[in-house]
Amino acid sequence: GATTSLTLALPLTAAQLRATAPDVLAEMAALLAEHTLKQTANILNARCRKTGAGEPFSAQKIDWLRRAHGIKDLAQHLHDAGMCTAREMTARLGVSIHVLRAVRLRGKVRARVANDRGDWMYDPQTAPYSGAPHETRGRGAV
């Protein structure tokens, strides 16, 4: 009548088996401070990093993971650093989006693409003017 007791750890759940590694999530978070979702996916894929399911990254997978883990995207990082969306900047300067675009294209304001849709964010400290609408020469010139 000898008996033996075995104590085994519970098996991992399906979610735990497919979880993306913490070091990959940390790398992704660091990349998102300077890169869009698609750029981040491309960089991780070039580094041969994989999702928890062993698949290559895509912009959609990066976005899902970032939302699930509370990681900021590039636009949020830029906004936290004081940059403004196009809507915020046009309101601040009192100009149309077309004038703002022209100012950006002439290099009169520092701006950068904030996402894969091509939305721009602007540095209000580099704007040619701010506050109430100003007088312009011709058709909305700044």
* Helix, strand, or coil (residue 112): strand
Q: From residue 25, how far is each of 34, 41, 45, 123 by CA, in Å? A: 15, 12, 13, 29
Packing angle between helix 59-68 and helix 22-32, nearest 10 degrees?
100
Q: From residue 129, how far is each of 51, 63, 85, 96, 142 by CA, in Å? A: 46, 35, 16, 14, 9
The pLDDT, as a whole number, for residue 130 is 52
Q: What is the pLDDT along the chain (142 residues), one digit of tens a residue?
A: 788 888 888 887 887 778 899 999 999 999 999 999 999 999 999 999 999 999 999 999 999 999 999 999 999 999 999 999 999 999 998 999 999 999 999 999 999 999 999 999 999 998 876 544 444 444 444 4
- pTM of the full structure: 0.78
Q: Report whether 142 contacts 136 (CB < 8 A).
A: yes
The pLDDT, as a whole number, for residue 45 is 98
- The encoded tokens of residue 37 equal 């979702």
